């Protein structure tokens, strides 16, 4: 077997090569060929096209029903759903077709809480929604989203979070971007690899089991001061995982024309606000304070133990 074939074979075993293999730490020299250099080229070609999936993920009850503030009564109640996302317009993109893997961690990503092998946590997407799980004898229970016919996937089994606020983070990435073995033990956290999940290649969302609300809500206003629904923001969590959120109204969930990011953890969150059909971004206020810049921008929101329950971002469309 040639050197390049050997490396390619090893890459297939782990699914993809973790970011922390780049550079000299993995270097071995065969004659005049440096394996690190070859791997660097292969890693670049295999990850250059990788990116966070389109669309959104979100947690629900088995039938796709949302839960107020993403706070659940029991761990068993939490199911994964995906697609364009609640409140999204008809034109919004859903999840890319393919096979995905998920995990549950504490908010920092340091502690893997999912207790089964990654191979048991796979699901499939077609036509922008979750369509099923990979049947392998250890697959997760499923439900059915009654609103749009998507399959929902139970997150259990996972351990209790060490977070004192009862907070959890769910991660989703394509199988080809998973940087560990699907069947092997947890590969831990090394650099920007969180148990096989690279934040920039992931969708993430937070939820709580019990606990108190903590959220970032973005509202869009027309020139005459009316709320505008169906407008989106991109939320990036403190680890670099991202997700899409859309403004909509559901008074039963205390959602009042907001693109709501719920159960946020302490740290710096980024809310990207772009021009989009229905809104050319003008002035933006954060917690009632006008920002120096006008127009599309990324707002940094620092969440701490003293943050209010809701931090409002108000976008005034021109």
How confident is the model over 91-109, as pLDDT tens digits?
888 999 999 999 999 999 9
Contact 246, 93 (CB under 8 A): no
| 52/221: higher pLDDT | 221
* Residue ranges per structural domain of the chain: 3-47, 56-209, 215-317
Q: What is the rounded average pLDDT of the residues 111-140?
A: 97
| 121/43: higher pLDDT | 121
Chain position carrying tokens 């998973």: 178
Q: State the virtual CA torsion across 107, 111, 116, 117 in degrees, nearest 10.
A: 100
CA 70 to each of CA 11, 55, 126, 233, 294: distance values in angstroms, whole numbers, following the listed order: 38, 19, 26, 18, 32
Q: What are φ and ψ of residue 54, in 5° steps?
A: -75, 175
| 19/285: higher pLDDT | 285
Q: What is the rounded average pLDDT of the residues 76-82?
A: 97
pLDDT at residue 90 in the model: 78
173 pLDDT more than 90 = yes
How confident is the model over 9-59, as pLDDT tens digits?
433 333 333 333 334 333 333 344 344 333 343 433 344 456 778 999 999
Q: Which residues pair with 217 in a beta bridge?
A: 260, 312
Query: Is residue 147 very low, low, confident or very high in pLDDT (cuts 50, 70, 90)?
Result: confident
Work out the angle between the directed axes of helices 3-14 and 35-47 (0-180°, nearest 10): 50
Q: What is the rounded average pLDDT of the residues 227-235?
A: 98
Q: What is the mean pLDDT of the chain?
A: 87
Nearest to 165 by CA among 45, 29, 96, 71: 71
Q: Of how many residues is the chain composed?
A: 318
**Fold of the domain built from segment(s) 215-317:** Immunoglobulin-like (2.60.40)
pTM of the model: 0.83
Q: State how far the Cα of 166 lies from the Cα of 252, in Å rounded to an integer.
A: 23
pLDDT at residue 49 in the model: 52
Question: Tokens for 103?
Answer: 């995990």
Query: Is residue 306 very low, low, confident or very high in pLDDT (cuts 50, 70, 90)?
Result: very high
Q: State how far the Cα of 58 lies from the Cα of 60, in Å rounded to an integer.
A: 7
| 15/124: higher pLDDT | 124
Question: Tokens for 236?
Answer: 């990036």
**What percentage of residues in the chain have a pLDDT greater than 70?**
84
pLDDT at residue 148 in the model: 86
Question: Tokens for 149?
Answer: 């016919």
Nearest to 148 by CA among 84, 222, 77, 230: 84
Q: Which residues pair with 105 in a beta bridge?
A: 112, 169
pLDDT at residue 93 in the model: 86
| 120/15: higher pLDDT | 120
Query: Is residue 160 very low, low, confident or very high in pLDDT (cuts 50, 70, 90)?
Result: very high
Q: State how far the Cα of 55 lies from the Cα of 148, in Å rounded to an integer.
A: 15
How confident is the model over 184-219, as pLDDT tens digits?
889 999 999 999 999 999 999 999 999 999 999 999
Torsion region of 315: left, alpha or beta (phi above 0 gives left; psi -120 to 50 gives alpha): beta
List, in order, residues 6 or more apart from 190 with CB less than 8 Å away: 18, 20
Query: Is residue 307 very low, low, confident or very high in pLDDT (cuts 50, 70, 90)?
Result: very high
Nearest to 61 by CA among 48, 44, 80: 80
Q: State how far the Cα of 257 lies from the Cα of 237, in Å rounded to an integer.
A: 22
**What percentage of residues in the chain have a pLDDT greater than 90?**
80
- Cα Rg for the chain, rounded, in angstroms? 21
The arrangement of secondary structure in 56-209, i.e. its CATH architecture, is Sandwich (2.60)
* Eight-state DSSP code of residue 30: E
Nearest to 175 by CA among 264, 102, 254: 102
**How deeply is 147 buried, as exposed, middle or buried, from its count of CB atoms within 10 A (0-12, 13-18, 19+)?**
middle
């Amino acid at each position: 077997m040639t050197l390049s074939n050997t490396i390619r074979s090893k890459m297939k075993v782990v699914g993809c090569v973790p970011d922390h293999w780049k550079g000299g730490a993995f270097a071995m020299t065969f004659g005049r060929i440096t394996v690190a250099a070859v791997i660097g080229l292969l890693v670049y070609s295999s990850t250059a096209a990788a990116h966070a999936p389109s669309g959104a993920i979100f947690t629900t009850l088995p039938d796709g029903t949302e839960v107020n503030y993403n706070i659940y009564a029991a761990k068993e109640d939490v199911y994964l759903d995906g697609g364009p996302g609640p409140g999204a317009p008809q034109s919004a993109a859903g999840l890319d077709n393919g096979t995905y893997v998920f995990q549950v961690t504490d908010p920092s990503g340091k502690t893997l809480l999912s207790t089964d092998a990654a191979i048991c946590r796979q699901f499939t997407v077609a036509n922008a929604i979750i369509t099923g799980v990979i049947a392998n004898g250890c697959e997760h229970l499923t439900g059915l989203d009654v609103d749009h016919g998507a399959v929902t996937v139970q997150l259990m089994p996972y351990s209790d979070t060490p977070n004192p606020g009862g907070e959890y983070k769910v991660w989703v990435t394509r199988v080809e971007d998973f940087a560990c073995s699907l069947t092997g033990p947890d590969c831990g956290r090394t650099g920007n690899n969180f148990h096989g999940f690279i934040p920039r290649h992931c969708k993430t969302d937070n939820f709580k089991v019990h606990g108190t609300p903590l959220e970032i809500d973005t509202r869009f206003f027309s020139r005459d001061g009316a709320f505008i629904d169906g407008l989106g923001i991109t939320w990036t969590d403190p680890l670099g995982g991202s997700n899409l959120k859309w403004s909509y109204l559901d008074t039963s969930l205390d959602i009042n024309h907001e693109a709501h990011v719920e159960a946020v953890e302490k740290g710096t969150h980024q809310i990207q606000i772009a021009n989009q059909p229905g809104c050319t971004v003008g002035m933006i206020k954060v917690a009632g304070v006008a920002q120096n810049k006008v127009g599309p921008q990324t707002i940094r929101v620092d969440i701490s133990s003293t943050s209010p329950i809701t931090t409002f971002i108000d976008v005034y469309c021109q």
